[in-house]
Amino acid sequence: MKLRAAIASIVLLVSITACGNSQDGGSGPVTLRMTTWSANEAHVKLFTEIAAEYTQAHPDVTIKFDALPVDTYTTTLTTQIAGGNAPDLAWILEGAAPDFVSSGALAPVDDAIENPAELAPSATALWKQDGKLIAYPFSTSPFGVFVNTDLLTQAGQTLPTGDDWTWDNAVAVAAATAARTGKQGLVPRDFDYKDWTNLAPIFDGWGAQAWSADGKTCGFDQQPMIDAMTFIHQAIFSKKAIPGPGVAADFFAGESAMTITQISRASLLKDGKFKWALVPLPAGPKGKYSVIGQGGVGVMKQGKHVDAAKDFLKFFTGDANSAKLAQFFPPPRTPQLTADTLAKSNPLLSKEQLQSVVIDGISNGVVKPSHADNAQISQAVRSALDPMWKDGADVPAVLKSVCTAIQPVLAK
């Protein structure tokens, strides 16, 4: 009797699971799902418009945009893939790019890109494998410094310009403004003493590298990194220019004098309650430089409609739509990278700001650090860096311990 009941329950269960198992056939109506990390209303509106236009020409195709939270984006995406629910198209964060590009999770998209010759080589470098384009870098967004000029004025400070725009002066102004206004000074956005890759816009100014170009050798214990991290440590703990660990301050809510972030954040200043400026990263000991963050979009091999997804990708990233997307995401297409073109779709930024931060930034920029074992290495670096975030820490010793922690993984 017990056995029969047990079998009955299992049969019941199997029949329930079987219901959810039906797959879309090869032909007939197709629904494509694209995962993104932006639920920003203006972004979603534009995506939906582009999708509607595509559906007009392809009535049997529906496009669904699935916005996932950015801080757990890659984890959620991977879990969906593991659960057999891979999206057809997915945005990929630059940190996860090497992992996605090298694993074979994405279908090559060379035949799904309009005028591929237009793409800037610095923009596609991260997204290529064996000469094939694995994902399209729809957003190549340089880091700049947003400045709350109202707060500076209130503190009797002026923003250094030209050759005076150096890290030393930036930190001095930030510290003075923080001291006189009771607000915070300079916030490396999204760093929060966890995502150390958001310190790259500072340490690159010292020529410091997290690891060598081939990804095999740790760079944290090298002199440029020691100098850069010592500078950052002093800016936090002696000069009080950067808010300490556990202190929350949002530049866009007027809580700090400056923030280092990507220009795509300018949309947060739409109804700004203060006067602001956008300037390139200050010069470091190695002179002028720029750092870019990227987002790619790829076609998942494990998705159900690879060909249909490629066709939509071609439409989504073609010249016309690339120009529309440029108002939020600086495009990789060189003909569109002119101050005039970008100004049309970026009403918040002046032509001068677009030229100095965006266009010059993309052509000279170094991409933020990433690695094939990115999540594991980033976590190990984060843990090993933790002892540095207190007053009086031995910076070179901590950096040495970072290399001890990650060298075995790098050398793999």
Partner 1 sequence: MTSAIKRQDRLTAYAFIAPQLAGTVAFVLIPLVLVFWYSLHEWNVLANTFTFTGADNYRQLADDPNVPKVLLATLFFSAGLVVVNLSLALLLAVLLNQKLRGTTVFRVMFFSPVVVSLVAWTIVWRFMLQDNGGINAFLNAVGLDGPNWLRSGGTAMAAVIVVQVLKNVGLNMVLFLAALQGVPPELYEAARTDGANAWTVFRRITLPLISPTILLTSIITVVGSLQVFAQIAVLTEGGPGTSTTVLVYYLYQQAFQFHAFGYGATLSVLLFLIVLALTVFQWQLRKRWVFHES
Amino acid code (one letter) for 212: S
Q: How far is the CB of 22 from partner 1 (least distance, A)?
A: 19
Tokens 């922690």 locate to 405
224 versus 303: smaller Cβ distance to partner 1: 303
114 versus 373: smaller Cβ distance to partner 1: 373
Q: How far is the CB of 81 from partner 1 (least distance, A)?
A: 5
β 184-188/366-367 pair status: unpaired
1 versus 117: smaller Cβ distance to partner 1: 1
In 104-222, alpha helices (H): 121-124, 149-154, 167-181, 200-203
267 versus 302: smaller Cβ distance to partner 1: 302
Q: What angle do CA 128, 131, 135 make, to 5 degrees?
A: 30
47 versus 211: smaller Cβ distance to partner 1: 211
Please state, in angstroms and rounded to a whole number, the distance separating the CA atoms of residues 367 and 293: 6
Q: How far is the CB of 37 from partner 1 (least distance, A)?
A: 16
β 291-300/276-279 pair status: unpaired
Please state, in angstroms and rounded to a whole number, the distance separating the CA atoms of residues 187 and 243: 7
Answer left, alpha or beta for residue 123, where phi above 0 means left and psi between -120 and 50 means alpha: alpha
298 versus 331: smaller Cβ distance to partner 1: 298
Q: How far is the CB of 372 from partner 1 (least distance, A)?
A: 10
Q: How far is the CB of 124 from partner 1 (least distance, A)?
A: 20
Q: How far is the CB of 10 from partner 1 (least distance, A)?
A: 7
DSSP one-letter string for 129-163? ETTEE-SEEEEEEEEEEEEEHHHHHHTT-----GG
For binding to partner 1 (CB under 8 A), which residues are involved?
1, 5-6, 8-10, 12-13, 16-17, 74-75, 78-79, 81-82, 99-100, 103-105, 193-194, 244-248, 301-302, 373, 375-376, 379, 382-384, 386-387, 389-390
Beta bridge partners of 333: 119
